[in-house]
């Protein structure tokens, strides 16, 4: 049996994934990295993009916006824990959700132009999340992946 690593993905609202995988590729603020079993301990900041876990030759795509990653080895098991500001499995993003995200992104772009908007950071974060959902859903629309 080949070695695997334990991948756990959490958001403030819920646990998104807890699965044994062969490896995982994810976006960090320093660039994309791939983590394999026996990886050295690591703490890094996540960037917006998609996490692609691979288990038994199947890809598991997760849209992500910000957060942190920690990699540590506990005995023979390498554990990758992701604490994301937002994360969602691609299969959870329906066509209706994509259209809502596009509409919300356009609405937020218009609101951001108004210099009197007090909570610009909130709007910027929500805009980034909406645009990322659309981008990642479009990317994986015609690809095969594990649901």
77 touches 6 (CB < 8 A): yes
81 touches 19 (CB < 8 A): no
Q: Which residue is associated with the tokens 């645009």?
A: 131
Rounded to two decimals, what is the model's pTM? 0.77
The distance in angstroms from the start CA to the end CA of the chain is 24
Confidence grade of residue 117 (pLDDT, cut at 50, 70, 90): low
Domains of the chain, by residue range, sit at 5-91, 93-140
Give yes or no for residue 91 having a pLDDT over 90: no
User: Residue 134: its pLDDT value, please?
Assistant: 75
Q: For the segment 4-40, what is each residue's pLDDT rounded down to a tens digit?
A: 999 999 999 999 999 999 999 999 999 999 999 999 9
The CATH number of domain 5-91, selected from 3.30.565.10, 3.40.50.10860, 2.60.15.10, 3.90.1170.40: 2.60.15.10
Give yes or no for residue 127 having a pLDDT over 60: yes
Instruction: Copy the structure tokens of residue 114.
Output: 């108004």
Query: Which of 83, 122, 131 lies closest to 104 in space, CA to CA?
Result: 131
Residues in the chain, overall count:
147
The mean predicted confidence, pLDDT, of the chain is 85
């Amino acid at each position: 049996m080949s070695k695997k690593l334990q991948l756990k993905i959490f958001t403030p609202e819920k646990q998104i994934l807890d699965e044994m995988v062969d490896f995982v590729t994810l976006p960090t603020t320093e660039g994309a990295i791939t983590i394999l079993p026996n990886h050295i301990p690591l703490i890094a900041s996540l960037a917006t993009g998609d996490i692609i876990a691979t288990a038994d030759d199947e890809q598991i795509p997760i849209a992500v916006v910000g957060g942190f990653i920690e990699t540590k080895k506990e005995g023979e098991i390498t554990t990758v824990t992701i604490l994301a500001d937002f994360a969602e499995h691609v299969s959870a993003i329906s066509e209706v959700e994509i259209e809502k995200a596009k509409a919300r992104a356009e609405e937020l772009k218009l609101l951001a132009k108004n210099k009197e908007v007090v909570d610009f950071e909130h709007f910027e974060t929500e805009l980034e999340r909406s645009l990322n959902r659309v981008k990642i859903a479009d990317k994986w629309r015609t690809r095969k992946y594990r649901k």
